[in-house]
Amino acid sequence: MDFSHIPILSIITYIPLFGALAIVFLLPRENARLIKTVATFIAVLDFVVSLPLWWAFDRARDGYQFVEKASWIPSLGVDYHFGIDGISLVLILLTTLMGVIAIVCSFTAIEQRQKEYYVLLLLLQTFMIGTFCCLDLFLFYVFWEVMLVPMYFLIGVWGGQRRLYAAIKFFLYTLAGSVLMLLGIIALYFYNTTGFLSYKGLGHAPTFAIETMTAVAQQMPANLQIWLFFAFFLGFAIKVPMFPFHTWLPDAHTEAPTAGSVILAAILLKMGTYGFVRFSLPMFPDAVRHPKVVGIMVTLSLIGIVYGAMVTLVQKDMKRLIAYSSVSHLGYVMLGIFALNMAGVQGGILQMINHGISTGALFLLVGIIYERRHTRMISEYGGLAKPMPVFATYFLIMALSSMGLPLLNGFIGEFTILQGAFAKSFWWAFCAATGIVLGAAYLLWLYQRVFFGEVTNPANEKLADLTFREQLTLAPLVILALWIGLYPRPIFDVIRRPSEKIVAIVGGATMEAPAVASRVDEAGGAVPSVSADAPGAVRP
């Protein structure tokens, strides 16, 4: 497929936006059925349009593809600049898929103000895809910020008991982080042009192009890099969220409607890790390599993993439990990224996808049971495997995927990350592995309490099993989980090039190629064994 003459990325980005506008202006509020149908149609259309990217994407090429560029604000040097590499590609596909699922899973859950609800979901979709497509920092910031608005309303209007608190907390936390990132962007801009404070500028023409900015940022003196690293860090770390910035997450997740939680877990959190991979690492390699910075990042990640898992263990509310498990899982992603080697970075990126699939599915499942019983307390359930065998099966698969059982997606991600971490330090891997044990504990214990044994609560005896529509939302995620678990190579192929580039920049050059990698490679055809000490090496 040749997309060189079609602005395919813009089309994918704005289909939901125009769909949302169409719903606002053309559809009557009373006809909820029609609104649902149209919203689903738009989301499916967007997904279908985005699918060909997977085949059209040239895995062997460096740099960005499907690039679109037009001048937007010449006075500032801002361009409308879209383009993707392998990392954005997989995230965009995940987004368009999750967009469909989020809409379909809301059909019965949302009963009031339906028109606004679907409009907001579609708007959010546009902003998320746009964020992943941006090749201009200014434009990126615009999408990054405006994304908060629909999510704020999704939580605030359709959320649970404490929705107001959760919504504003979500907005304030993420905004507070990103405004400092804005200052970082301004500093970069001046470093590239006329200079600021005591830093002499490079005197280039003003631009916000990510590629140029990345090259420029790398030339900055180490102390400035560290300042800017932390300015960006706050923006991204709050979004991830890394310990100790995670406190907004359980509230937002718990209070959000099911679709909101799914999107939040599957996509929004990935914005933070994506930011690290796309900006922090390649832009500030001297800062990232700095032993103290690595120390801080890895320590926070490990605390996130272990502390997150321990807090998860004691949760009484299913949704809150899964929310906290996200803190732990995102800790793995961050650990992988800051291992700064091929295995770590690739594992981190894959784990972003995996977490989206597994945790997204778990939130769907909790949403399904909540719709039937209107409670999320674990103690209210027990023996659900009897009335709802299909539901129990899906839940089991997803729980196993989330805890990293071999043959499912979570295993590949966590294993690759551990490999990367192990190559750096035994203790990193050791601590992280503790988290895996705890992860198995909280998920299995949850499963046992909810599904096994006799039905203790009479309210649960007559629960209906999954409907066809509900299975429809879950099945794609199960298929993906199995696919990545059995044959992750296609995904690794897509993210290999950009990962190599990042690792080459941050100078994982001294790293040995992790020996375990090749073993997995033989076993499952999984991890590419490109040795990290040969950046840019072409695979045979």
Dihedral sign computed on CA atoms, order 237, 238, 241, 247: positive
Q: Which of 25, 28, 75, 458 binds other proteins (CB under 8 A)?
A: 75
Please state the closest distance from residue 268 (CB atom) to other proteins, in A.
Answer: 16
Task: Between 140 and 422, name the residue whose CB sits nearer to other proteins.
Answer: 140
- CA distance linking residue 288 with residue 146, whole number of Å: 28
Q: For residue 2, count other CB atoms closer than 10 A to its CB.
A: 6
Number of H helices, E strands in the chain: 24, 4
Task: Between 11 and 183, name the residue whose CB sits nearer to other proteins.
Answer: 183
Contact pattern for other proteins over residues 187 through 226, marking x by CB under 8 A: x-xx---x-xx-----------------------------
Please state the closest distance from residue 171 (CB atom) to other proteins, in A.
Answer: 6
The site for other proteins, by CB under 8 A, has a size of 34
- CA distance linking residue 34 with residue 280, whole number of Å: 44
401 and 485 in contact (C-beta within 8 Å)?
yes
What is the phi/psi pair of residue 73, to 5°?
Answer: -125, 85
Please state the closest distance from residue 222 (CB atom) to other proteins, in A.
Answer: 18
Task: Between 163 and 329, name the residue whose CB sits nearer to other proteins.
Answer: 163
Task: Between 128 and 502, name the residue whose CB sits nearer to other proteins.
Answer: 128
Please state the closest distance from residue 18 (CB atom) to other proteins, in A.
Answer: 15
Query: Judging by DSSP bridges, how do beta strands 78-84 and 65-73 pair with one another?
Result: antiparallel
CA-wise closest residue to 174 among 85, 265, 316, 271: 271
In this chain, which stretch among 177-185, 282-290, 311-319, 458-466 interacts with other proteins, using CB under 8 A?
A: 177-185
Q: Does 183 bind other proteins (CB under 8 A)?
A: yes
CA dist 217 to 64, 183, 223, 443, 539, Å?
A: 19, 14, 12, 43, 29
* Segment 418 to 457, residues that bind other proteins, using CB under 8 A: none
Q: Which of 21, 34, 182, 296 binds other proteins (CB under 8 A)?
A: 182
Q: Which of 76, 437, 464, 479 binds other proteins (CB under 8 A)?
A: 76
3-state secondary structure 95-149: HHHHHHHHHHCCCCCCCCCHHHHHHHHHHHHHHHHHHHHECEHHHHHHHHHHCHH
Helix H or strand E encompassing 266: none
Q: Which of 6, 70, 172, 464 binds other proteins (CB under 8 A)?
A: 172
494 and 90 in contact (C-beta within 8 Å)?
yes
Largest alpha-carbon pair distance within the chain?
74
Q: Which of 34, 175, 303, 444 binds other proteins (CB under 8 A)?
A: 175
In this chain, which stretch among 179-187, 212-220, 259-267, 512-520 interacts with other proteins, using CB under 8 A?
A: 179-187
Task: Between 275 and 528, name the residue whose CB sits nearer to other proteins.
Answer: 275
Torsion angle defined by CA atoms of residues 389, 392, 396 and 402, in that order, rounded to the nearest 10 degrees: 150
Task: Between 168 and 440, name the residue whose CB sits nearer to other proteins.
Answer: 168
Task: Between 199 and 483, name the residue whose CB sits nearer to other proteins.
Answer: 199
- CA distance linking residue 13 with residue 2, whole number of Å: 18
DSSP secondary structure letter of residue 399 = H
- The CA-CA-CA angle for residues 486, 325, 489, to 5°, reads 20
* Segment 129 to 168, residues that bind other proteins, using CB under 8 A: 141-142, 145-146, 148-149, 152-153, 156-157, 163-164, 167-168
Task: Between 61 and 200, name the residue whose CB sits nearer to other proteins.
Answer: 200
Q: How far is CA 324 from the centre of its chain?
A: 15
- CA distance linking residue 325 with residue 321, whole number of Å: 6
Task: Between 141 and 394, name the residue whose CB sits nearer to other proteins.
Answer: 141
Here the tokens at position 168 are 């504003």
Please state the closest distance from residue 263 (CB atom) to other proteins, in A.
Answer: 19
Task: Between 141 and 276, name the residue whose CB sits nearer to other proteins.
Answer: 141
In this chain, which stretch among 46-54, 174-182, 312-320, 431-439 interacts with other proteins, using CB under 8 A?
A: 174-182
Q: Which of 11, 67, 186, 463 binds other proteins (CB under 8 A)?
A: 186
**Interface with other proteins by CB under 8 A: which residues?**
72-76, 141-142, 145-146, 148-149, 152-153, 156-157, 163-164, 167-168, 171-172, 175-176, 179-180, 182-183, 186-187, 189-190, 194, 196-197
